[in-house]
Amino acid sequence: MIVEVIVSYIVGSVMGFWLFKQMTTERTIAATLDNLVDEGYIRTRVDEDGITQLYKYDELPNTKITFDDVEELMDMDEDELARRIEEVLEEDDDEEDEPPRGTV
């Protein structure tokens, strides 16, 4: 009877320690990543599936340009193309004005 109590105590203690370690490890990693993103050391982007992708600060995310996109640009007249380029540059300037959140 006493042996079963001791074994149960040891197994419970080991499992409690293991669960505590797992929980604190996950929280520490999540807090560290959040801090790195907030400080601008890592950039993030949410993909189509809602999954947050991480990028190095100097790394650009993969952007895919389709043939339809190229075809659309080729069909534009010079004035419309210039207007679209200015819009993209203005959006890029606006993003630089925002505080560093680490997003792409």
Asked if 82 contacts 96 with a C-beta cutoff of 8 angstroms, the reply is no
11-59 pLDDT tens trace? 999 999 999 999 999 999 989 988 888 887 788 887 788 888 887 766 6
Please tell me the predicted confidence (pLDDT) of residue 60. Answer: 63
Please tell me the predicted confidence (pLDDT) of residue 59. Answer: 64
The sign of the CA dihedral 37, 43, 46, 52 is: negative
- CA 78 → CA 21, 74, 81, 82, distances in Å? 61, 10, 5, 6
Give the separation between CA 64 and CA 85, rounded to whole angstroms.
Answer: 18
Every domain of the chain and the residues it spans:
2-97
Please tell me the predicted confidence (pLDDT) of residue 66. Answer: 75
pTM greater than 0.75: no
Give the separation between CA 66 and CA 12, rounded to whole angstroms.
Answer: 57
